[in-house]
Every structure is written in C-alpha cells, then in structure tokens.
Structure 1
Amino acid sequence: MIQSLIEGFGNVLSISTILLILGGTILGLIFGSIPGLTATMAVAICLPITYGMHPIAGMSLLMGLYIGGVSGGLIPAILLKLPGTPSSIATTFDGYPLAQKGEAGKAFSFAIVASFLGGLVSIFLLIMVAPPLGQVALQFGPYEYFAIVIFSLTLIASLSGDSLPKGILAGLLGIGFAMVGSAPIDAFPRFTFGISAFDAGFDLMPVLIGLFAISEILLVAEKRGYQALKVNIKKIKYKVPLKEYLEEKWNFVRSAAIGIGIGILPGIGGGTANLIAYAAAKNSSKKPEEYGKGTPGGVVASETSNNAAIGGALIPLMSLGIPGDTVTAMLLGGLVLHGLQPGPLLIQNNASVVYGIFAALLIANVFMAVLLFLGMRGFVRLLSIPQYILLPIIMILCVVGAYVLITVCLMCMHYYSLALSVT
C-alpha cells in the first residue's frame, strides 16, 4: 500500500498536474462560496474539460474541485449567515454569531483547521480501509435507513432551542415539502399540481437560498435606519492558542467519525452529516446553552464532519462503484469517461490511477487550507462593506445561482445517463 501511494504521488507530482489541482481547488472555493453554486455544479461543468486529459490529470482536477467546493461554503456561512453549500448549514449557527461579536478571525481559524483535519483523517481512512468499509455500507438495507431517518427526526429536539413547538412545526413542514415529487415506489407524482418541474421534488439548494439568504436580506431591509455592523478590522484576532484547539479534540474525533460514517452511506452526504455532528456536539457539551450564540465547538463540529464526509463518500465509489453523494455520482461518470470501470476490481486493475487520485486528494486538502488562510483577512474585510451595497450583490448572486442550478442539473442528468450507457 505504501509503495502504491508513493507511486501515486510520483504520478501526480508534475507541474501540470499540480497546477490542475491548484486551479481546481481555487475554482471549487469560488463555487462553494457563492450561494447556489455547489461542488456538484463545479464538477459537472468541468467534467467535459477533462475528456482529453490523462486519467490521473483529469481526476486530479475533479478532486480539487470536490475539496474546494465543500470547504468554500464556510466563507459566506461565517460572514453573511448564508450557507454556500448544504454541507455548511450548521456552520451558520455559530460562525455568524462569532463574526457579529468581532471574532470572525477566530471562527475562520477553527473552521479551516477543522476542515483540513477532517478531510485528512477521512482520506487516510479511505486509503487504508476502503474495501472492508465499502462492504459494510453494502449491507445497509431498509431497516438501517429507517433507523437513520428516525434518528434524524429526534435531532429536532436538540436543534429546537427554547421553543420545541416551533421545532416540531418546522420538522412537519420539512416532511411536507419532502413529499412533493415522484413517489419512491411507483413514481406517481405527488402534490405537483401538474407542474413537471416538481416531479423531482424541491431541490435543496434553492430552498436553502430562500430560507437563509433571501430571508436575511428581507429582515435587514425591513429595519429602517439599520446601521451596518462596524467591525474594527485591526482588532480582529486571527491566531488561536493551541490550548483552545485542544479543548475541541473530542468534538473533532466524534464529528469526524460521524462525517465518515454518514459519508459512506450512499445518497446522504455532508448536508446531513454536519447537522447530526452539530446536534451531537451540543448534546455532549458541558455548556449546551452556548451553542447557537457563537461557540467554536459548533463550527468545529460542522466543518469537521462535512469534510470528513468527502473521504467517506469516496469509499463506496472506489470499492463498490456506488456513489456516496451527488458529487461522487458525477465522479462516477468521470471514471467511466476515462475508461476506468468502477467496482470491486477498480483498485486491483488500476492501482496507479487510484493511488494517484488519493495523492491528489491529499494535495488538494493542503491547498485548500493554505488558500483559505491566505485569503482569510480579505474575507473578513467583507464585514466593513456597507450592507446597502453588499446585500443587493448577494441577492443577484442568489438569483443567478438558483437559475444556473437548473441548467447544471440537466447537464448532470445527461452525463450520468451517458456514463450508465457506456457501462
């Protein structure tokens, strides 16, 4: 294994491939930071570009997009209370209050370190135990998925705060919205009112844009004479003592385990993992009342779990040919596009390419952390922009992101069907 990984690094460590990984990570961070533009979109748009590349170079670009797209969501989540991706929903709960208190630098530091370590642990686990963990995921059936659904519903009690009736009402509304679309058994359209666009139900990203972005803009707009948040940029601290990081060590371990476990299960991904990890961190905390008011533990739980879900989602893809989330579904098409047959024999028959992909993931994870740390001071300066200038720009980006989502979804369906036809 070590010899294969060294060979994989040897295949990746060329100037052209390194630049592809760096470019993919930068582009992924941009997509992740704009509400409505996700890692799935980034991979879908760039997938045709990789057609003429060597498999290692093409997949390295896609790995950079994956890492950057998931991690980029923390930027608007902390600064603007807008989850850039579904994986960063829980980051808004404590990241934004920290920024409001003038501790945006602290929030970014915890988020970046947690993202880096969560991704690092999951990638190493992917390298070491992909085949056995993939077999475990394959054993999950209706009973196990039903148990996960029930467990997810019980999290309402933890996330409701002081008003449980409001939490239950929000949960019932969520169940109601989830019922729109084709029935899972007979594909009969439910509550679509004859509108074909509702056949697949509500897409998560436009719903998040409406709930978080548009609602926040309207709340600010209704406050006449609202003064923009005045933050003294020079007084913001970016360095966090090692002691504070170590205080969250068990939170990190637990959140990484949740992220990897949820990521392995096909069709779930980081959007669920970050909420479950956040609820687990709150329930295990000695001061649960601080969650939602600006505590680093909430940021650590969310960002560790959503990046840990990356390696987890790749485990069933690499070992069984089963995508763990929407991004890995696109990566499945990328493997087929480059003549690689996903499944149990993928690692055995294409060891050099697969370990090259693992090496690209590790390098992209490092690039992600470095780029976020380098750009952190620039991101924080967004707080000094008057909101009457910033919010209209955000509104335009939200509308564009929701519109682009429709086009990219059609592209995803086309490439995925193409991959299935080739297999």
Structure 2
Amino acid sequence: MCLKLIVVVRSTSDYRMPGGANPALNAVYYLYAVYLDTLQDLYKFPLIIDDMPMDNDPRKMFIGGLLLQRPSLLLLGETLYAGFGGICDAFNYTGAVVAVNLGSRAIYRWATQAGNDSLYTDDWTKRHGGGAGGVWQAGMGLASDGKDVYFTIDNGGGVGVNSSVETIPVPGKTHLDILFDSVARVTLDDVEGGGKGVQLVDWFRPFDYQADKESRRQGMGSAGFAILDEAAFSTPQAKRIGVATSRNSKMYVQDLDNLGGYRQGRNGSDGVLQTIHLDGEVAGGIGSYPLEGGYIYVNPGNAPLAAYKFTPNTTTSSQLFTLAGKSSAGNSHAVGVGIPTVTSNQGKPGSGIVWVTEPEKGLLAFKAVPENGTLVELKLPKVEGAYKYGRPVFGDGRVYVVDGHGRLIALGAK
C-alpha cells in the first residue's frame, strides 16, 4: 500500500452565508490526502466532511465552524479517525469523532452527546447549547488496539444525566447516549454498502466526577488514553492495559477489555486496576518504556516529571505501578508542558531516554531508568522554549522540535 499524507483542513471562506457571514459559522472542514511518493491527490480528494447530521443524533449537524480538530489523527487500515472539540468552549458545539474510509469515501459522524435527553438548540451562538463533551486531549492522538479506538471526552451533560448517572453504579458495557468526563472505546461497523457507523463498546467515568465539574476543571478530556505494549505490560488478571490521565490529578490504570463503567469498584469506587494520585494536573497523557522491566512517565503541570515502574508481582493488584523516581526540578507551567516521548538505541538496556518539552526551558531529556529515585537529566544544546503541548519527533539519529519562536530545530550527533 502506498504511503499517504493526510491532513484535515479548516476553511473560513463564505461557505454557508456569502456576503459577510460570521466566520465561525462559515468555516468548514475538508479531508485532504496525497501520496507521499508523488504528492498527487488521492482519487476524489479533498473531501468535505461538513453539513451532515450526526449518525447517532440526526438533530445535530456537523458544522466545522463550531469545532476544532484537536487530537492527532489516527489511520487504522484504510479508515481515518479524527476527534473534534470546542473552540475554548465557545458557541453551540457537540464533541464528535469522524471516521472516513479512504477507499470507499464513506463518512461516519458520531456525537458524544446524543439522544432526546442531550442538550440541543438551533441557536449556534449559545455556549454549550449542543451539550459540549469535546474530544481534545491537549492534542494527544486517538489510541487503537488495531481494531477499536480509545479516547477521552471532556465536560458535557444533558437533561436526564443527573437522574440517571449521578450516584447509581452503571457497568461500562451499558449503552449511554450522553458521554462526558469519560474514557470511551468505540468500534466501526463499516460494511460495504452501508453500516451502522461508529458504535460505543465500553466506557469509564470517575466516581467523583461531580467534584471536577464543580471546580470547573476540564476533567478527563484534557488528557488522552495510552495503550501499553502487552508484551511488556500484562498480568493474569488484565492481559491488556491502558492508562488515562486528567486534570483531577489522578492517573487511572485500566483493563482495555473492561474500562470500568461508573462506580463499579468496592463500595462504589472506581472499577479500575489502579488509581495513582499525582502532584498536579495533566494535559496530554503519558509515555511508556517497555524495556528494563517497564516504566510509564507522566508530566504534570507545576510538578516534576515522574516515572512509575511496572511491578506486576506485588501482593496487591492495586499496586501494578510504583513510583520509581522524579526529576530534580519541576516545570513552572500549570498547562502547556509536553507529553513524555521515549526512545532507545535499538532496544539496548541502559539506552532509554525520556524527552519532554517545556514552554520556557525548551527540550529536556532524562535517562529512562531512574537512579536512586531521581530521573537524571541529560545535557542538551539550548532550545529557546517550545510550543504549548509540543512533543519532539525522531528520525535518522536526529531529534526535531519546534521551539518557542516557531522554528523547526534539529539536534543530532555531528
């Protein structure tokens, strides 16, 4: 299969109301794809994905001017997935996931807030008029196990939410039309000639999500969901493990096949494998290192970078990960720090490096395995700041990052 470059482009031309209509309402989204080897367009692309009703709630139209395509795109086989959240919670928007089959050009649109009990109004200027529930994850990409897709959903709600899911335990396999402050697992029914589209499979919501809503935090939606390498991170009780973070200063270790529902744990607690309390809020998610016993890394705001070692042989299943070390200095930003990214020299023990960005300090690197409880920082050439939530990329022995001035910086051995 030829390699493809795929982007989602937001246009602000007078699309719906020519002659000076408000740009927010006029903006639309196009899916644009080219072959990398020739830069030629894919057949019948670009493809507009606007002006169609959501598959699970025909009342709600996908209007690109009210949404931002926030998480990194996910290409799963021939199907592209894109997540959409609000423009800093402005306007009447509904969070959405759009799936496009690049071969058949079939488009599926799934709303996080659906059904008669979800909020709805025709007034596009009304804040949260569509129920909100954005998918943004501070830019972190949607996750997949090769078949299904996992992501987090921001604050939202509807008319019947408080009475139906306030304190009553609900299993995660129970279908919900309205999802907010949640981790979601969806699958795509994309049968040639027509299918049911994106379908909810499983979900999780923290037992104390109400406190997050009252404090006006952004809950689960600020950070993404990471799927760990099952060859390194697995237990007899949970063959496949994922990790969610959020701005409630907690990290949730979850069974991919049973995310946890609502209040499914002992005495109405969270039905997850482990809950880890962090030093600060998280936007963007975790990094992982499957070598040397296995580690995960989290970079909270206004706090040190922290490493947790995989300890599956502990006597209690509530301690799958234990704190192994922290950086000696914390970052100075509540939001904007980057997602940890981990590399190694062809898997050689002792070669692992954790990379993070910080808006003022730029690019930072640490040894992946802590020494005496400390993540040891490695010396790098000075990079003048970094973009908010930025992360480096790697290739051919070099690391590339965009600095705080918008310049692409490359570092590598001479």
Both proteins in one fold, TM over 0.5: no
Larger helix share, 1 or 2: 1
Report TM bin, short chain.
under 0.3
TM-score, with length taken from structure 1: 0.21
- Bigger RCO (CA 8 Å, 6+ sep): 1
Larger strand share, 1 or 2: 2
